[in-house]
Amino acid sequence: MVKYVILGFLMYGELTGYDIKQIMRQSTSNFMNASFGSIYPALDKLEKEGLINSTKAIENGKYKKIYAINSSGEEAFIKWLEEPVDFMRSYEDILSKIFFYERLPKEKAPKLIEQLLKDINCKIEDLERLELEIKDKAGYFEISTLYFGIDHLKFMANWYGKFLEDLKHQKENS
């Protein structure tokens, strides 16, 4: 996930590893944060994969490496953004993707959120059917984890539903 967040930040312009860490701290740290020990190896890997380029510079007597996304990196990043969201992944993964949705064509983000809502609601229905099947057989702790899953998915459906409404309202007003 760090790989795509880094590519997303580089879509805004050239950055050093230090810059990426600072931007992450100020913007995505509530759902995606990485240490320098994760950022620099990810940058090296992205460069080896041919998705970013780097230049070396000396500023105030200090050596630094400046990274820029290239067309292959932009293509890989947009392809990742356009993939349907897997709601069963962690909320960090989901929010890391949504954070950069402004980079998609305007009509794509609402469609991806609509698909996410559809998938979540299907899973809620599946779990509610399962509840009816196992309610009398499952132990207290077992059924409690099922209730947690149902409640969590209902929260997600509610939140993403409101988000979609706001997104559509914002689109109408722009």
Give the other-Cβ count within 10 Å of 37's Cβ. 8
DSSP, res 28: T
Sign of the dihedral through C-alpha 111, 113, 118, 123: positive
> Given this model, what pLDDT does residue 113 score?
94
Q: Could you tell me the pTM of the whole model?
A: 0.76
Looking at residue 88, what is its pLDDT? Answer: 80
DSSP string, 10-21: HTTS-B-HHHHH
pLDDT at 53: 98
pLDDT for position 173 = 77
**Average confidence (pLDDT) per 10 residues, the chain, 174 residues:** 94 96 88 91 97 94 95 96 85 89 92 95 93 89 90 95 93 74
